[in-house]
Amino acid sequence: MREVCEKRGKELSGSPCGRRPGLRRQGGNWGGGGVGTHEAGDPFLPHLGGTRMNMTQARVLVAAVVGLVVVLLYASIHKIEEGHLAVYYRGGALLTSPSGPGYHIMLPFITTFRSVQTTLQTDEVKNVPCGTSGGVMIYIDRIEVVNMLAPCAVFDIVRNYTADYDKTLIFNKIHHELNQFCSAHTLQEVYIELFDQIDENLKQALQKDLNIMAPGLTIQAVRVTKPKIPEAIRRNFELMEAEKTKLLIAAQKQKVVEKEAETERKKAVIEAEKIAQVAKIRFQQKVMEKETEKRISEIEDAAFLAREKAKADAEYYAAHKYATSNKGTTVLHYCLWSFSIARSFPTQRSLIQDTFWIKIAASACPSLPHCQP
């Protein structure tokens, strides 16, 4: 500014770009000779009006108010996910009205909230030490506890055990119950024999205490990983398991051989039973054939006997009629005649016919011995 003033021939005095001699301020402007206008062509004369300054201050104030409102809204509006409940603290005191899922508003910087899950959740307890009854220290890498908190029990449990209730009711309890179990059993039992029971024992122990201390918190499942044991002991267990595996393989091979032999035996038995059944069926078939032939023969014999009997009856009837018609003939002559008739068919007679004619002769001469055949 000083350089500019010097170039103008030191016309200005007072301030760096002061007013010329004889100029005075009138009506808010610098003028000369009582004229209240700017000197023509002078761009360095500042406009000192208050309008522009007032607008800038207003803009700054509005921006500050808007920023404050945004900050307050950001601090007061919060979102709760599905499956959670929000518990509120005001001045460190727990409020009695939890909020469900969705957007909610609270007093910023005065009220705080914690989100508590009410669906299934898994708590992990890692690297849990465990001392057996024999004094061997083992470590369980991870224990997973699947639990669920009922919505109606959120307020009471948070009030009694804070929003981090799982640390008190689950994590610490897991350490206690697992140490009690290990101290009552040997390494062999913990690592092999009773390992499959650890999950259920922990679940029952936790749930038993929770039913008293925190009703509404349910243990769904407990999963325990295989314990870490000292390397030397682990190698011994591996060798022992290898020997057991060999023994099991040998036993399985023996069972396979026995099963194969049993299969062959059953196969032979089935084949023999098949042959016996076939023979039995054939025998029954032959017996039925013979019985059928026998019945046919009996039927034929009965038919033949009936025919012969009918024929003999007819001949007897004819002879009887003939004898009746010859009553005048002498008895001796009739007897001889009857006997001759009975003997007249030596090649064609049958037992029935012989019997028939003998009866005729005997009836004709019963008193004569020589008439008997």
Asked whether residue 39 is domain-assigned, the answer is no
Q: Kindly state whether residues 199 and 179 are assigned to the same domain.
A: yes
CA-CA distance, 153 to 208, in Å (whole number)? 17
Q: Kindly state whether residues 128 and 104 are assigned to the same domain.
A: no
Q: Kindly state whether residues 56 and 146 are assigned to the same domain.
A: no
pLDDT at 150: 94
Provide DSSP, 20-58.
PTTEEEETTEEEETT--SPPTT-TT-----SHHHHHHHH
Q: pLDDT of 138-182, one tens digit each? A: 999 999 999 999 999 999 999 999 999 999 999 999 999 999 999
Asked whether residue 335 is domain-assigned, the answer is yes
What tokens were used for 161? Answer: 């055990």
Q: Kindly state whether residues 183 and 98 are assigned to the same domain.
A: no
Q: Kindly state whether residues 93 and 140 are assigned to the same domain.
A: no
Asked whether residue 209 is domain-assigned, the answer is yes
Asked whether residue 267 is domain-assigned, the answer is no
Q: Kindly state whether residues 112 and 125 are assigned to the same domain.
A: no
In three-state secondary structure terms, 355 is helix
Boundary of a domain, candidates 73, 91, 117: 117
CA-CA distance, 168 to 209, in Å (whole number)? 12
Judge whether 103 and 78 are in contact, CB under 8 Å: yes
Q: Kindly state whether residues 140 and 194 are assigned to the same domain.
A: yes
Q: Kindly state whether residues 104 and 131 are assigned to the same domain.
A: no
What tokens were used for 257? Answer: 């051989």
Asked whether residue 300 is domain-assigned, the answer is no
CA-CA distance, 227 to 356, in Å (whole number)? 115
pLDDT at 343: 59
What tokens were used for 196? Answer: 């499959």
* pTM for the whole structure: 0.49
Query: How many structural domains compose the chain?
Result: 4
Who contacts 92 (Cβ-Cβ below 8 Å, separation ≥6)? none
Q: pLDDT of 220-259, one tens digit each? A: 999 999 888 888 888 887 888 788 888 889 999 999 999 9
Asked whether residue 179 is domain-assigned, the answer is yes
pLDDT at 31: 44
Asked whether residue 180 is domain-assigned, the answer is yes
CA-CA distance, 161 to 168, in Å (whole number)? 7
Residue type, 371: C
Question: Which residue segment(s) compose the domain that 93 sits in?
Answer: 52-117
> Which CA distances in Å does 335 have to 81, 257, 307, 324, 351?
138, 96, 28, 13, 20
Q: Kindly state whether residues 108 and 144 are assigned to the same domain.
A: no
Q: Kindly state whether residues 85 and 154 are assigned to the same domain.
A: no
Q: Kindly state whether residues 24 and 103 are assigned to the same domain.
A: no
Asked whether residue 297 is domain-assigned, the answer is no
Q: Kindly state whether residues 61 and 24 are assigned to the same domain.
A: no
Boundary of a domain, candidates 229, 253, 268: 229
Bridge partners (DSSP) of residue 137 are 131
pLDDT at 314: 85
Give me the residues of the chain with pLDDT under 70, please. 1-53, 326-373
Who contacts 358 (Cβ-Cβ below 8 Å, separation ≥6)? 342, 373
Boundary of a domain, candidates 229, 244, 278: 229
- Which CATH number does the domain housing residue 126 bear? 3.30.479.30
